[in-house]
């Protein structure tokens, strides 16, 4: 039985399972749910992609893909499709036909792991749990990145001029002279920049702008 693939999961991490064998999907779904994991199971790569493309966003989690599926898109090509959609979710492969070139190619493209059948239940669940930990860390990084970009977007054009000069090590009096502003005005702009970005020093500001040079 295939999980309803049209309902977007709400909350928590999800294992997106793709295998064309109903018995395997059922067994893996039961195993993962018995270990407290949320699972959405798909009978084909096409079904997964159609569902993902219908959602406004793809909730966090990892992909568990069978390498070889009868008819339609296989696991490796599905991985390419996920990469093309710029999804950063960790990808694990299951295969009974793995060979070294296949493994190397998958890992070069960023696959998290490649497990050959038969595998132990504990090994599989452990690796999936580790992949979900990576996904959680990626989500936290993405949230921090979005917050920083939002703060930078709140900087006005004039504040931005002052900000970049402060980051370059210019003194307030030099900035005031360069921009034809009163020193007190420069001090106000500088204070606003530090407050908006939650920074305390020019060194911290310089490090931040080095990370976000285009913002």
Cα 68 from Cα 3, distance rounded (Å): 20
Overall size of the chain counted in residues: 215
CA 49/CA 158 separation, integer angstroms: 45
Whether the pLDDT of residue 173 is over 60: the answer is yes
Instruction: Using pLDDT thresholds of 50, 70 and 90, give the confidence band for residue 180.
Output: very high
Give the contacts of 27 (CB within 8 A, at least 6 positions apart): none
Give the pLDDT confidence of 159-171 residue by residue, as tens digits. Answer: 999 999 999 999 9
Distance (Å, whole) CA 55 – CA 100: 35
Q: What is the DSSP letter of 8?
A: P
Classify residue 113 by its DSSP letter: E
* DSSP type of residue 66: E
- The per-residue pLDDT for range 86-138, each reduced to its tens digit, is 998 999 998 876 666 777 777 888 899 988 888 899 999 999 999 999 998 88
Dihedral-angle region of residue 11 (phi above 0 means left; psi in -120 to 50 means alpha; beta otherwise): left
Q: Which domains does the chain have, with CATH numbers?
A: 14-145 (3.40.50.2300), 154-211 (1.10.10.10)
Condensed to tens digits (0 to 9), the pLDDT of residues 17-69 reads: 999 999 999 999 999 999 999 999 999 999 999 999 999 989 999 999 988 88
């Amino acid at each position: 039985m295939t999980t309803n693939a049209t309902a977007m999961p709400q909350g928590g991490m999800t294992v997106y399972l793709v295998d064309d064998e109903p018995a395997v999907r059922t067994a893996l779904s039961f195993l993962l749910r018995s270990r407290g994991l949320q699972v959405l199971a798909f009978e084909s790569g096409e079904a997964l992609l159609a569902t993902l493309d219908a959602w406004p966003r793809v909730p966090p989690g990892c992909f568990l893909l069978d390498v070889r599926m009868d008819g339609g898109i296989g696991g490796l090509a599905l991985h390419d499709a996920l990469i093309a959609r710029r999804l950063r979710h960790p990808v694990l492969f299951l295969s009974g036909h793995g060979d070294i070139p296949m493994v190397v190619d998958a890992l070069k493209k960023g696959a998290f792991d490649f497990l050959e059948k038969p595998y132990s239940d504990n090994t599989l669940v452990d690796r999936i749990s580790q992949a979900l930990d990576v996904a959680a860390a990626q989500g936290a990084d993405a949230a921090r990145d979005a917050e920083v970009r939002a703060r930078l977007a709140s900087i006005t054009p004039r504040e931005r001029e002052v900000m970049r000069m402060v980051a370059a090590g210019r003194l307030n009096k030099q900035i005031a002279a360069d921009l034809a502003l009163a020193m007190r005005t420069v001090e106000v702009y500088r204070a606003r920049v530090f407050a908006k970005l939650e920074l305390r020093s020019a060194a911290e500001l310089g490090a931040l702008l080095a990370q976000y040079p285009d913002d």
